[in-house]
């Protein structure tokens, strides 16, 4: 399913006044493709992702998955949470794994949150850990994994519910250039395989050779799409 962000505006209260973090953003991400969202710190990238994920209600505008309007300024927290669990996968800047669970158990917990028996996703969980290259580490806890391996587990966890939309916030900021490029390549490949509409925030254009499109955010607004050649390293 395609992801459509239409006229998204997000205004935070800021003392006696307000701060517009996202200003009338329109963006479509087709199913099976990855769009990179670039821009400097403070541009509003994470805020836009939070709205796309239903973690924050937009002040104005709508988020649509396929033909379903899923998030509006009036969507309840309960409805947003249900849509997020059923239709959206998220990967954050730091992997946010639980220290006491093994890699496979991180994925099984997601099934539990969706009201399924953890064991019901064991096979798929192992397939995904294999797809991201950490199957050999399925029974290790986060402290026994490298930063790159933890981020791969977080990517597998985001995909365990077969999400239609994948939202990824600066997954490579803790990785060196080569590992960062590999993680972006992994995400774009999985997005294509699983037909997930993927929006990937980055501030490092040099890792984005495999994405399908790039857009740039500056001062809460989306600029016209940059041609890929402009952001790809020479």
Residue nearest to Mg ion (CB): 46
Sign of CA dihedral 31, 179, 93, 27: negative
Please tell me whether residue 218 binds ligand ADP under the rule CB under 6 A: no
Shorter beta-carbon distance to Mg ion: residue 93 or 206 = 93
Q: Please state the closest distance from residue 229 (CB atom) to ligand ADP, in A.
A: 24
Q: Please state the closest distance from residue 87 (CB atom) to ligand ADP, in A.
A: 22
Size, binding site for ligand ADP by CB under 6 A: 11
Identified binder of ligand ADP from the candidate list 1, 5, 45, 196, rule CB under 6 A: 45
| 25 contacts 48 by C-beta, under 8 angstroms | yes
- Which residue(s) pair with 141 in the sheet? none
Please tell me whether residue 161 binds ligand ADP under the rule CB under 6 A: no
C-beta atoms surrounding 11 within 10 Å: 15
Shorter beta-carbon distance to ligand ADP: residue 154 or 194 = 154
Shorter beta-carbon distance to ligand ADP: residue 19 or 195 = 19
Identified binder of ligand ADP from the candidate list 26, 42, 177, 225, rule CB under 6 A: 42
Binding letters toward Mg ion, positions 30-49, x by CB under 5 A: ----------------x---
Q: Please state the closest distance from residue 53 (CB atom) to ligand ADP, in A.
A: 12
Tell me how far apart the alpha carbons of residues 27 and 97 are, in angstroms, rounded to a whole number: 30
Nearest to 89 by CA among 17, 161, 41: 161
State how beta strands 213-218 and 34-38 pair.
Answer: parallel
**Residue showing tokens 């493709």:** 33
The set of residues, in sequence order, having a beta carbon less than 8 Å from that of 151 and lying 6+ positions away, is 91, 95, 171, 172, 174, 175, 183
The set of residues, in sequence order, having a beta carbon less than 8 Å from that of 180 and lying 6+ positions away, is 171, 172, 204, 207
Identified binder of ligand ADP from the candidate list 5, 8, 31, 43, rule CB under 6 A: 43
Provide the token pair at 154: 């977080």
* Site residues (vs Mg ion, CB under 5 A): 46
* Site residues (vs ligand ADP, CB under 6 A): 12, 19, 21, 39, 41-47
């Amino acid at each position: 399913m395609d992801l459509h962000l239409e006229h998204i505006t997000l205004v935070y209260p800021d003392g006696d006044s307000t701060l517009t973090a996202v200003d009338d953003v329109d963006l479509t991400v087709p199913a099976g493709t990855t769009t990179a969202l670039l821009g400097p710190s403070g541009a509003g990238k994470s805020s836009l992702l939070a709205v796309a994920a239903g973690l924050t209600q937009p002040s104005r505008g709508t988020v649509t998955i396929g033909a379903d309007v899923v998030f509006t300024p009036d969507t309840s927290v309960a409805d947003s949470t249900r849509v997020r669990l059923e239709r959206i996968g998220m990967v954050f800047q730091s992997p946010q794994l639980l220290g006491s669970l093994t890699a496979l158990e991180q994925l099984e917990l997601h099934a539990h949150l969706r009201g399924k028996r953890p064991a019901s996703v064991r096979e798929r969980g192992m397939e995904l850990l294999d797809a991201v290259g950490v199957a050999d580490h399925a029974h290790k806890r986060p402290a026994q994994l490298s930063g790159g391996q933890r981020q791969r587990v977080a990517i597998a966890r985001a995909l365990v519910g077969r999400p239609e939309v994948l939202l990824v916030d600066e997954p490579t900021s803790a990785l060196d250039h080569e590992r960062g490029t590999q993680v972006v390549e992994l995400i774009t490949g999985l997005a294509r395989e699983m037909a997930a509409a993927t929006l990937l925030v980055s501030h490092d254009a040099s890792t984005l050779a495999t994405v399908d499109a790039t857009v740039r955010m500056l001062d809460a607004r989306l600029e016209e799409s940059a041609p890929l050649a402009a952001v790809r390293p020479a």
